[in-house]
Amino acid sequence: MELVTTVVSRAGAKMSSVRWKFRMTPMRWVFTGIAAAAIAVILVRFVLGLGATTNLNDQWPWGLWISFDVLLGVALAGGGYGTALIVYVLRRDKFYPIARSAMLTSLLGYIVVVLGLLIEVGQWFNFWRPYVSWGHASVLFEVFWCISCYTVIQILEFCEVGTEKVFKGAHKYLKKAMPVMLIIGITLPTLHQSSLGQLFYLMVGKVNPLWWTAFLPVFFLLSSFFVGAGMIVIESTLAGKALNHKVEIPVLRGLVKISAGAMILYLMLKITDMVVRGTFANAFAFDLPSIMFLSELFFGVIIPIIIAFSSLSSTRKGLIWFGILTVSGVIMNRFDVLFTGMGKYLNQYGGSYVPAVSEFIVSLGLVSIACLAYLFLAENFNIMGNHESEHADDITIKDGKYASTAK
Partner 1 sequence: MAKGVLVDIPKCIGCESCSVACKLWNELEWDEQEKNKTAIDRAKEPNNGLWPEEWTSINRYDLEKDGESVARYVKAQCMHCEDPACVSSCFSKAFQKLPEGPVIYDQSLCVGCRYCMMACPFDVLRYEWKKAIPGVRKCQMCATRVANNQETACTSVCPTGAIIFGDRDQLLAEAKKRIKENGYVDRVFGEKEAGGTSWLYISDTPFEQMRFRTDVTTKPLPSYTEGYMKATPFVGVGWAAILAGLYVFNNKGKEPLD
Start-to-end CA span in the chain (Å): 33
Spatial separation of the C-alpha atoms in residues 402 and 386, rounded to whole Å: 10
Residues 5-44 as x/- pattern, contact with partner 1 by CB under 8 A = ----------------------------------------
Please tell me whether residue 273 binds partner 1 under the rule CB under 8 A. Answer: no
Spatial separation of the C-alpha atoms in residues 242 and 220, rounded to whole Å: 31
Among 105, 107, 142, 228, binds partner 1 (CB under 8 A): 142
Candidates 70, 69, 354, 344; CA nearest to 207 is: 344
- Contact status, residue 329 vs residue 300, Cβ threshold 8 Å: yes
Q: Which of residues 302-361 bind partner 1 (CB under 8 A)?
A: 349-351
Among 78, 80, 217, 341, binds partner 1 (CB under 8 A): 217
Nearer to partner 1, 73 or 300 (CB): 73
Residues touching partner 1, count (CB under 8 A): 69
- Contact status, residue 242 vs residue 375, Cβ threshold 8 Å: yes
Among 18, 37, 39, 140, binds partner 1 (CB under 8 A): 140
Spatial separation of the C-alpha atoms in residues 68 and 49, rounded to whole Å: 20
Count of Cβ atoms closer than 10 Å to residue 160 Cβ = 19
Q: Which stretch binds partner 1 (CB under 8 A): 86-94, 253-261, 297-305, 370-378?
A: 86-94
Please tell me whether residue 58 binds partner 1 under the rule CB under 8 A. Answer: yes
Among 50, 102, 159, 260, binds partner 1 (CB under 8 A): 50
Spatial separation of the C-alpha atoms in residues 108 and 383, rounded to whole Å: 13
Residue 124 beta carbon to partner 1: minimum distance, rounded to whole angstroms: 7
Spatial separation of the C-alpha atoms in residues 253 and 403, rounded to whole Å: 18
Among 137, 354, 396, 398, binds partner 1 (CB under 8 A): 137
Q: Angle CA(332)–CA(260)–CA(267) in degrees, nearest 5?
A: 60
Spatial separation of the C-alpha atoms in residues 71 and 337, rounded to whole Å: 10
Please tell me whether residue 190 binds partner 1 under the rule CB under 8 A. Answer: yes
Among 83, 148, 195, 224, binds partner 1 (CB under 8 A): 195
Cα atoms in the Cβ-side hemisphere of radius 13 Å centred on 34: 20
Residue 193 beta carbon to partner 1: minimum distance, rounded to whole angstroms: 12
The counts of H helices and E strands in the chain are: 18, 2
Residue 183 beta carbon to partner 1: minimum distance, rounded to whole angstroms: 5
Nearer to partner 1, 84 or 332 (CB): 84
Long-range contacts (CB closer than 8 Å, 24 or more residues apart) made by 43-49: 44/358, 45/119, 45/358, 45/362, 46/119, 46/124
Among 41, 75, 182, 383, binds partner 1 (CB under 8 A): 182
- Contact status, residue 405 vs residue 385, Cβ threshold 8 Å: yes
Spatial separation of the C-alpha atoms in residues 395 and 387, rounded to whole Å: 15
Among 2, 13, 26, 133, binds partner 1 (CB under 8 A): 133
Nearer to partner 1, 117 or 305 (CB): 117
Please tell me whether residue 103 binds partner 1 under the rule CB under 8 A. Answer: no
Please tell me whether residue 59 binds partner 1 under the rule CB under 8 A. Answer: yes
Among 22, 134, 284, 298, binds partner 1 (CB under 8 A): 134
Residue-level length of the chain: 407
Interface residues with partner 1 (CB under 8 A) are: 46-52, 56-59, 61-62, 85, 87-91, 93, 96, 99, 120-124, 126-127, 129-130, 133-144, 160, 175, 178-179, 182-184, 186-187, 190-191, 195, 198-199, 201-206, 217, 349-351, 406-407
